[in-house]
Amino acid sequence: MILADAHCHLGSRQFDNNREEVLSRMLENGVEKAILICCSEHDRLASISLRDRSPGFKLALGIHPQDLEDDDPQRLTDIRKALTDSHADMIGEIGLDYYSHPHTKEAQLRFFEAQMEMAAELGLPVDIHSRKASLDTLNMLKRFPVKGIIHSYSGSAEMAQLYIKLGYCIAFGASVLFPNSRKPAEVIKSMPLYRLLIETDAPYQSPVKGHIHEPADVKAIYEKISEIRGISIEELAAQIELNWETVFRTAVLS
Ligand SMILES: [Zn+2]
């Protein structure tokens, strides 16, 4: 059984001292596929050397919507170059965050649009961060013949259907493990299994206080989601592998 973490920051500084251990725990748990999200030059360099460790590792680069205090257009030129120089597999995470950074909304829209244009041009899928911005996100995605993943989904079942109609997969993280979380389970029950992905967002979003989240922990989320859907973890893992392939095989809609 192969597990896939559809969003983790394994190149993050938080893993600089124990990346090898984190990697071996990951492989012990069968997590052979992972999208390595890079939001900085440090993370990009660390992730490029990791990518060679497993054929299932994918490299994603992008300018994060929470990182637009500096909105110099040169940053777009730089990311475009980094994408081709490092043979990136995906653009992300990109998107809109009106919850934590409402003051940079205008720059977020500009950078999101420019990076969606790059995705269409380069034929790459995208990994989308969207908080308190679902309508603007949906309207932006509609404009580009691009596929991808809605990361750490926390919206409604109706909105999930709209993203799915556009060809996107919906990824759920550790929020399903919180004792009083009901909404993600409802969405998971209502959506087609062939558009579901699972992620940790490690080192962030740990379900356990004081524990640094790591990709090996994706197994607990698989267990919970298989319980929610009433299928075996093996069956879920096999389906997720197929979903994963569709994201990377056919990035651009024909
Ligand atoms: Zn993330």
Q: Is residue 254 part of a domain?
A: no
CB 173 within 8 A of CB 146: no
Q: Mean pLDDT, the chain, as a whole number? A: 95
| Token pair listed for 7 | 């969003």
* Cα(203) to centroid(ligand 1), Å: 9
Cis previous bond, 203, omega within 30: yes
For 70, the 3-state DSSP assignment is: coil
* Cα(166) to centroid(ligand 1), Å: 22
* Cα(39) to centroid(ligand 1), Å: 9
Residue 251 has pLDDT above 90, yes or no: no
Mean pLDDT of 73-93: 97
* Cα(101) to centroid(ligand 1), Å: 15
* Cα(9) to centroid(ligand 1), Å: 6
* Cα(208) to centroid(ligand 1), Å: 17
* Cα(32) to centroid(ligand 1), Å: 19
* Cα(128) to centroid(ligand 1), Å: 9
The domain in which residue 116 lies consists of 3-249
> Which pLDDT score, from 0 to 100, does residue 182 have?
87
Q: Is residue 202 part of a domain?
A: yes
State which residues have CB under 5 angstroms from ligand 1, the bound ion.
201
* Cα(94) to centroid(ligand 1), Å: 10
Residue pLDDT, tens place only, 148-167 = 999 999 999 999 999 999 99
User: Sorting pLDDT into bands at 50, 70 and 90, what band is 254?
Assistant: very low
Residue pLDDT, tens place only, 205-226 = 998 889 999 999 999 999 999 9
* Cα(189) to centroid(ligand 1), Å: 24
The pTM assigned to this predicted structure is 0.96
DSSP string, 50-67: HHTT-TTEEEEE---TT-
**Residue 95 forms beta bridges with which residues?**
129
Residue pLDDT, tens place only, 2-45 = 999 999 999 999 999 999 999 999 999 999 999 999 999 999 99
* Cα(14) to centroid(ligand 1), Å: 13
Mean pLDDT of 134-159: 97
Residue 122: partners with Cβ closer than 8 Å, 6 or more residues away: 83, 84, 91
* Cα(129) to centroid(ligand 1), Å: 8
Mean pLDDT of 175-181: 89
For residues 64 and 206, give the distance between their C-alpha atoms in angstroms, rounded to a whole number.
20
> Which pLDDT score, from 0 to 100, does residue 52 have?
83
* Cα(38) to centroid(ligand 1), Å: 9
Overall domain count for the chain: 1
Residue pLDDT, tens place only, 195-205 = 999 999 999 99
Task: Return the percentage of the chain with pLDDT > 90, whole number.
Answer: 92
Cis previous bond, 235, omega within 30: no
> Which pLDDT score, from 0 to 100, does residue 129 have?
98
CB 106 within 8 A of CB 72: no
Q: Is residue 108 part of a domain?
A: yes
Q: Whose CA is closest to 107, among 118, 99, 97?
A: 97
Mean pLDDT of 91-111: 97
Mean pLDDT of 234-249: 96
Q: What is the CATH number of the domain that holds 85?
A: 3.20.20.140
* Cα(160) to centroid(ligand 1), Å: 19
User: Sorting pLDDT into bands at 50, 70 and 90, what band is 250?
Assistant: low
> Which pLDDT score, from 0 to 100, does residue 54 have?
86
Q: Is residue 51 part of a domain?
A: yes
